Amino acid sequence: EAALSLGVRLFEHTPATDIRDLGSTLRIYAPQGRVDAGKVLLATNAFPPLVREIRRYVVPVYDYVLVTEPLTAEQLDQIGWKNRYAMEDAGNEFHYYRLTPDDRILWGGFGAAYGGRVNPAMEDRDEMFQMLAHNFFINFPQLSDVRFSHRWAGAIDTCSRFSVFFGSSFAGRLRYAAGYTGLGVGASRFGGRVALDLLDGRENEAKALSLVRKRPMPFPPEPLRRGVISFTMNRLEAADRAGGRKGIWLRTLDRLGLGFQS
């Protein structure tokens, strides 16, 4: 509504398939037509980017969520969740959870799955939801008779430093912000403002930050990429089983500034 009130034109359900430099403008192609623009900001998250170089830095990872049926007053009293704080646990593979306004528990996270590319089939993996349910009942044994009414999954983009990064193409007429790693709800406002200031050449104190000036280390090409990511996820699981004690691989990533908690 805010965008429309400012005269912004929205083209929903319109996949952008290509971008080309026409000299004075950039042309974005879609099955329904095309859009010409003097400047372009890409905020495509985990989805295939129009600028090839972004693919070196971003991989899609799938996150999974379950939601319970509404809890009764007695059930809420049993678990002692008095102040309705949203929470997460301290594992590398962590759960996040909160109470909804109608007293359901939203329970997500823990098992992230690397998809290689965005694939809707990754959103309906029974084994991931079963694992989430198993862990839910370990955390809430008082709710053993509660059923789940909703489940979903979706792709998030991750990069090797696990936070947003910025870049440009077409002599600065295109800017992009990507790599939020599931932290985009809070950080996308910052990312959008910085990217627009970069695009328009406006001064912004954030532009001096190394976070803005430097890009993360790129992922290796396939098939090495899949192997490195799978091995790292395996080592994160092992550290959780060992009470948080990291092995040599995770300690090395931390020293390089690439660790999950770096």
CA proximity to 221, closest of 55, 13, 62, 85: 55
Inter-axis angle of helices 248-255 and 224-241, nearest 10: 110
Q: What is the mean pLDDT of residues 222-245?
A: 86
pLDDT for the residue 173: 95
pTM of the model: 0.84
End-to-end CA distance of the chain: 38
Cα(33)–Cα(24) distance, integer angstroms: 19
pLDDT for the residue 261: 61
The number of C-alpha atoms within 13 Å of 252 and in the hemisphere containing its C-beta is 5
Give the whole-number percent of the chain exceeding pLDDT 70.
Answer: 97
Whether the predicted pLDDT of 175 surpasses 80: yes
CA proximity to 16, closest of 42, 52, 55: 42
The amino acid sitting at 219 is F
CA proximity to 112, closest of 242, 214, 236: 236
pLDDT for the residue 54: 93
pLDDT for the residue 179: 93
Contact 79, 148 (CB under 8 A): no
Whether the predicted pLDDT of 176 surpasses 70: yes
| Beta-bridge partner residues of 29 | 18, 34
Q: What is the mean pLDDT of residues 212-232?
A: 88
> Comparing 34 with 112, which gets the higher pLDDT?
34
Band (pLDDT 50/70/90 cuts) for residue 255 is confident
pLDDT for the residue 111: 64
pLDDT tens digits for range 19-75: 999 988 999 999 999 999 999 999 998 888 899 999 999 998 889 999 999 999 999
84 Ramachandran zone, left/alpha/beta (phi>0; psi -120 to 50): left
CA proximity to 64, closest of 144, 164, 187, 156: 156
pLDDT for the residue 76: 92
Cα(57)–Cα(161) distance, integer angstroms: 10
Whether the predicted pLDDT of 259 surpasses 80: no
The amino acid sitting at 109 is G
